[in-house]
Amino acid sequence: MIKRTFDVTLAAIGLIASAPLWAVIPAAIKLEDGGSVFFPQGRVGRGGRVFQALKFRSMRPDAEAKTGPIQATENDPRVTRVGRVLRATAMDELPQLWNILVGDMSFVGPRPLRPGEVEVRGDGRLIALHDIPGYQQRHGVRPGLTGLTQVYAPRDLSRASKFRLDLLYLKHASFCLDMKLILLSFWITGRAEWEARGRKV
């Protein structure tokens, strides 16, 4: 109850404080390629419920037309110029403050995953994420805008290793840990290093 109250309060403050960005960012996206401003995406939340996570679009409008849903890579050619700035500062995820406000997400928790997502192993095998140990336990709580995995895991770390970080968070979850992760997230955002953070781990 305390965590939910904190989430609602901080999300409401964040939406009000970021109001000027809600004019600047959509204008920049429209000016670059004229495509849609928002990119709604199905994500798996608490209890396995699928919800629509909102993001500012950071990739070309046809980014997944030929490949279907695949995870972004470092220096991904599908990312637009505006998108590179948004992703480095995590401003593309600003609309998820609304997801937090309505209860789809929390500020801190496991990263919300896409339904039906798979991992490609080094030998070319495709492994469904729900078959990887630790996947189901993540759905006991609301997924987070930030968390241990989001802050510390390199982009190319295996999902099994990321799930272990999620389980580590669930084991040690506390208000103090949440505040530490939120402050670290603000620090990374201020330095525009979200796309580079994995190189330090």
What DSSP assignment string belongs to 156-194?
TS-HHHHHHHHHHHHHH--HHHHHHHHHHHHHHHHTT-T
Crossing angle of helices 21-33 and 81-89, rounded to 10°: 150
Number of domains observed in the structure of the chain? 1
Instruction: Please tell me the predicted confidence (pLDDT) of residue 116.
Output: 78
Distance (Å, whole) CA 112 – CA 138: 9
Q: Are 43 and 50 in contact (CB under 8 A)?
A: yes
Residue in the structure block whose two tokens are 């409401």: 12
Instruction: Please tell me the predicted confidence (pLDDT) of residue 99.
Output: 97
- How crowded is residue 200: how many other Cβ atoms within 10 Å of its Cβ? 8
Q: Are 143 and 45 in contact (CB under 8 A)?
A: yes
Distance (Å, whole) CA 46 – CA 136: 10
**Considering only CA atoms, which of 139, 140, 119 is closest in space to residue 128?**
119
Instruction: Please tell me the predicted confidence (pLDDT) of residue 157.
Output: 83
Instruction: Please tell me the predicted confidence (pLDDT) of residue 67.
Output: 53
Distance (Å, whole) CA 150 – CA 70: 18
Instruction: Please tell me the predicted confidence (pLDDT) of residue 194.
Output: 87
Beta-carbon-side half-sphere exposure of residue 138 (alpha carbons within 13 Å):
31
Structural domain including 182 reads 2-200
Could you list the mean pLDDT of each consecutive 10-residue stretch along the chain, which spans 201 residues?
94 96 95 91 93 92 60 70 92 96 96 81 75 88 94 84 93 95 94 69 37
Instruction: Please tell me the predicted confidence (pLDDT) of residue 100.
Output: 97
Instruction: Please tell me the predicted confidence (pLDDT) of residue 64.
Output: 62
Distance (Å, whole) CA 134 – CA 140: 11
Distance (Å, whole) CA 196 – CA 116: 27
Instruction: Please tell me the predicted confidence (pLDDT) of residue 38.
Output: 94
Instruction: Please tell me the predicted confidence (pLDDT) of residue 141.
Output: 94
**Beta strand spans in 83-140 (E):** 106-108, 118-120, 126-128
Instruction: Please tell me the predicted confidence (pLDDT) of residue 201.
Output: 37
